[in-house]
Amino acid sequence: MRLLTKVHIKHTRRQRPDWTEAQLLQEAQAWADAAGPYADTVTAEDVREAVQSMRECQERQETLW
């Protein structure tokens, strides 16, 4: 997964916090396919890692510990 794709996933997550990981994956795949010569492959694991690496998610995890 390219860095720009990861940024797009995080941006989409912040814009639409109610979306599930499946919806984020579908959006990221459509966006990556439309990237022309810079197309990228995105998997469910990529989306999960991108969402978990977000600061907002890490803060919530720390409060649960």
pLDDT of residue 19: 95
pLDDT of residue 35: 72
pLDDT of residue 62: 57
Rounded CA gap, 50 and 7, in Å?
A: 8
pLDDT of residue 65: 54
pLDDT of residue 44: 95
List alpha helices for the chain, DSSP H. 3-15, 21-33, 44-52, 55-64
Mean pLDDT by 10 residues, the chain (65 residues): 90 95 94 80 93 77 56
- Cβ burial of 8 (10 Å; 0-12, 13-18, 19+) is buried
